[in-house]
Amino acid sequence: MNKFTLIFAGIFLLQGCYDEPPFRPSFPAGVVEGYEPIYADASKADIAFEPAHQLREPGKIYLYGTLLLVNELYKGIHVFDNADPEHPVAVGFLRIPGNIDVAIRNDVLYADHLGDLVAIDVHDWQSPREISRLHQANWNLTLPPENMRYFACVETERGPVVGWRLTTLTNPKCFH
């Protein structure tokens, strides 16, 4: 290797060694796109089975035996009897605030609930029973899902944050 190649390689490698100051956003006055928190009603933050609800913001779909489970983003799981796929029948709604993902095996439903992973015994859908909970410190619902975005600051007195909605904000004061 000649001297010129070594000097060029050294200069190229040293480019990433300077300390860049952290990005500090300027908070705009007026309207900007950003995230607003979705709060759970603290009195309805528990897991419960309710009468069927209308699908409004469906998420993932899961087939379990003759049951069809449809996630309602940040709210819970719609349960349908799918024995006749041409005529599914709404059985009810399993309220799980903050829920996005679900899996089920041997009548145990695994779901995210307010930042935790819960296992729910659903052998009787009318009477679901939480059998375990694993607190997940890394599922921080107090920050929006994307970095480098403005967002409406969380107001803890409004209840637990169960999700985020991309919208327009006026004079946001938080950035992540």
Note if the pTM is more than 0.85.
no
What is the model's pLDDT at position 164? 87
Whether 16 is covered by a domain: the verdict is: no
Domain extent at residue 120? 31-175
- Domain CATH code at residue 82: 2.40.128
| Backbone CA torsion sign across 12, 16, 18, 24 | positive
What is the model's pLDDT at position 82? 97
Whether 67 is covered by a domain: the verdict is: yes
**Residues 34, 150 contacting (CB under 8 angstroms):** yes
Whether 80 is covered by a domain: the verdict is: yes
Give one DSSP letter per residue of 105-174, joined into a string. Answer: ETTEEEEEETTEEEEEE-SSTTS-EEEEEEE-TT--TTS-SSSS-EEPPP-GGG--EEEEEEEEEES--E
Average pLDDT of span 86-114? 93
Average pLDDT of span 143-151? 86
Whether 92 is covered by a domain: the verdict is: yes
Whether 153 is covered by a domain: the verdict is: yes
Name the average pLDDT for the chain: 85
pLDDT > 70? residue 105: yes
Whether 24 is covered by a domain: the verdict is: no
Whether 19 is covered by a domain: the verdict is: no
What is the model's pLDDT at position 115? 76
Instruction: State the total domains in the chain.
Output: 1
